């Protein structure tokens, strides 16, 4: 791992360090929050101060504490969605790429069916049918995210299944599954790693958008989208309720996007030997 870290440039190292710090902050956020993010306070709509760096909301809750606690909820949704999407999409893409024409066409038509729906409308429909909440968001976003991974993996499999090292693996007696797992799949790690990094920020953004529409975590649970949803009615009289959470959300998404772009120029960092 130390050797891989040396392959990164200075900018990539800085971005990786900032991202790691952000993830750690999201994990420990509820424990280091200066106030209870749910408990009602005695000073509603108080301006930012030393006691409340991000001010208080309409019922006196500390906005800074709610943003810290909401980071864990937003990141947990993003991690769950990306892991489910890459697992399901990779499995379907491998099966489609290695199967006969009929199975391949059937799986790809299923994938096209999900591509045919506008992803945000499909996600809203799923959440509305299941009911608002984190679990509903995870299910909805996983449904709209896995097809892109399936397409990407299938394309790689089709390009690699006629390679000489694949033929050699089959000749020595390895099954198609073992060959795919040990020789084809590792070749995709750089592209999948970059894609997952970029999607992590995108999932946070879409999940927050659905939370802003009232389809996310149920009050009073803190989540970045629901925090902005509660702040929209007080934009003029309490600007801090929306500005600070919005800046934190934007910077988090931007950081993951920059990290993904940086890793895309350094794919060897994610590559693993297959021999």
Torsion sign over Cα 53, 56, 62, 65:
negative
Q: For the residues of 213-267, what is the DSSP string, one character each?
A: TT-SSPTTS--HHHHHHHHGGGTTT-THHHHHHHHHHHHHHHHHHHHHHHHHT-G
11-70 pLDDT, tens digit per residue, is 777 888 888 899 998 899 888 888 988 888 878 999 999 989 999 999 999 999 999 999
Work out the angle between the directed axes of helices 224-231 and 189-212 (0-180°, nearest 10).
30
66-105 pLDDT, tens digit per residue, is 999 999 989 999 999 999 999 999 999 998 888 878 888 9
Whole-number pLDDT of residue 89 = 94
Whole-number pLDDT of residue 65 = 93
- Of the CATH numbers 3.30.200.20, 3.40.50.740, 1.10.10.10, 1.10.3720.10, which one belongs to the domain with range 2-38+50-270? 1.10.3720.10
């Amino acid at each position: 791992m130390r050797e891989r870290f040396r392959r990164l440039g200075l900018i990539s190292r800085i971005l990786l360090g900032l991202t790691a710090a952000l993830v750690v902050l999201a994990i420990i956020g509820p424990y280091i929050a200066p106030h209870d993010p749910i408990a009602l306070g005695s000073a509603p709509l108080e301006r930012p101060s030393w006691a409340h760096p991000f001010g208080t909301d309409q019922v006196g809750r500390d906005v800074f504490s709610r943003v810290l606690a909401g980071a864990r909820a937003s990141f947990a949704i993003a991690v769950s969605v990306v892991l489910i999407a890459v697992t399901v999409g990779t499995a379907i893409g491998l099966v489609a790429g290695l199967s006969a024409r009929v199975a391949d066409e059937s799986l790809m038509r299923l994938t096209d069916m999900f591509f045919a729906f506008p992803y945000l409308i499909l996600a809203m429909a799923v959440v509305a049918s299941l009911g608002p909440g984190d679990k509903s968001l995870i299910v909805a976003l996983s449904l709209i995210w896995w097809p892109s991974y399936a397409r990407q993996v299938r394309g790689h499999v089709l390009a690699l299944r006629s390679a000489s090292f694949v033929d050699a693996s089959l000749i020595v007696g390895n099954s198609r599954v073992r060959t795919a797992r040990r020789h084809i799949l590792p070749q995709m790690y750089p592209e999948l790693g970059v894609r997952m990094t970029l999607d992590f920020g995108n999932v946070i953004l879409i999940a927050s958008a659905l939370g802003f529409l009232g389809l996310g975590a149920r009050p009073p649970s803190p989540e970045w989208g629901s925090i902005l949803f509660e702040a929209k009615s007080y934009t003029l009289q309490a600007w801090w309720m929306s500005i600070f959470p919005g800046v934190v959300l934007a910077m988090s998404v931007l950081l993951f996007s920059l990290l993904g772009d940086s890793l895309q120029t350094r794919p060897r960092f994610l590559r693993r030997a297959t021999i």
